Amino acid sequence: TADSASEPRAGRQGSKPMTATDIKVNVSIPEAAERAAVTGADGVGLLRMEHMVLSTNKTPQQYVEDHGEEAFVNTLTDSMRTVAEEFYPRPVRIRTLDAPTDEFRQLEGGEDEPSEHNPMLGYRGIRRSLAEPETFRLQLEAFRKLYEMGYDSVELMLPLVNDAEDVERAKSLMREAGIDPEKRDWGVMVETPASALCIEGLCETGVDFVSFGTNDLTQYTLAVDRNNGTVADRYDELHPAVMHLLHSTIETCRDYDVATSICGQAASKPRMIRQLVETGITSISVNVDAVADAQREVKRVEQQLILESVRD
Ligand code: PEP
Ligand code: MG
């Protein structure tokens, strides 16, 4: 369990071509960490906490009611630690809860979830965490326990933020939970147009990184439901409007020395890789099966850029 702490040891690492842009991997469930670690990825760009909860088949509230707060925290800590251990000392970016209410409704205790016409525009991500600080505190406690065990490689990421106010409120809850934002690596998802448009304010909150959630950024920018097959032909992650938000965000973040990353599905598309590497993104994070191709593609683009600069 989470209490049987031992010093972090270095995990396994495969070989990889050297690139200036880091290539990371998205890990879906802790059990997938071992396979992801041997790809030689530079770390985990996205580990979603909601999968740790969904696998218990209970909503967080139900889990706490049945087993108590400490058991809930330990479940999260154990899952996070499995991945952190496999990758240590490579960084592992873990995102706090972001399940829409229709996903939580499938679980035991799900009958208490609010009924929403548009769960994707509703009660999820940081909005829910700020509205239910008692559940957010338990998530933060799991992070704090990992830090205490020595996993300083763990990075905390906040989903679905719109602006600096969301982040400042989350920061005070982090402090209340014993996490010092000045001392830890943490950041936010940029996955709403508002967050991309308010990027200066977000940078001023002291984030170490932002990560593009292009799955959501595309649906919200183009007003195309990512789960609606009827409009699937309109769902274009490389749409000029989406690319505009990505480029302008990277440029502002470079001015503030804030690292930029992409962890949406589009991160494995060669055209996306080329455009973002050219603009100076810090890292890209792809599914385990796409790591090798992404490593090759990034290397190719970087070599091309070097050649072009020599010719200029
Ligand atoms: C995204 O929106 O691109 C993302 C990575 O988050 P999720 O797919 O979990 O919404
Ligand atoms: Mg998202």
**pLDDT (tens digit, 9 = 90+) per residue, 216-235?**
999 999 999 999 999 999 99
Q: Distance (Å, rounded) from C-alpha 72 to C-alpha 142?
A: 9
Instruction: Answer whether residue 38 shows pLDDT above 80.
Output: yes
Instruction: Answer whether residue 13 shows pLDDT above 90.
Output: no
Q: How many alpha carbons fall within 13 Å on the CB side of residue 296?
A: 5
Across the chain, mean pLDDT equals 95
In tens, the pLDDT along 154-200 reads: 999 999 999 999 999 999 999 999 999 999 999 999 999 999 999 99
* Token digits of residue 233: 């032909």
In tens, the pLDDT along 65-124 reads: 999 999 999 999 999 999 999 999 999 999 999 999 999 999 999 999 999 999 999 999
Pocket of ligand 1, beta carbon within 6 A: 46, 48, 98, 191, 213-216, 263-264
Across 112-138, average pLDDT:
97
Q: Which ligand is nearest to the CA of 212?
A: 1
Q: Distance (Å, rounded) from C-alpha 163 to C-alpha 273?
A: 26
Shortest-distance Cα residue to atom 1 of ligand 1: 213
Question: Confidence band (pLDDT; 50, 70, 90) for 7?
Answer: confident
The pTM score is: 0.95
Q: Distance (Å, rounded) from C-alpha 120 to C-alpha 115?
A: 12
Q: Please tell me the predicted confidence (pLDDT) of residue 10.
A: 77
For a pocket test of ligand 1, which of 189, 237, 286 has the largest count of ligand atoms closer than 8 A to its C-beta?
Answer: 189
Q: Distance (Å, rounded) from C-alpha 24 to C-alpha 17?
A: 13
Q: How far is CA 232 from the centre of its chain?
A: 24
Instruction: Answer whether residue 12 shows pLDDT above 90.
Output: no
Q: What is the DSSP string of 61-75?
A: HHHHHHH-HHHHHHH
Q: Distance (Å, rounded) from C-alpha 222 to C-alpha 236?
A: 8
* DSSP H helices in 156-239: 164-176, 193-197, 199-204, 214-222
For residue 72, report the distance from its CA to the centre of ligand 1, in Å. 24
For a pocket test of ligand 1, which of 158, 191, 212, 284 has the largest count of ligand atoms closer than 8 A to its C-beta?
Answer: 191
Lowest mean pLDDT among 13-27, 38-52, 255-269: 13-27
**Cα torsion at 131, 30, 67, 64 (round to 10°)?**
0
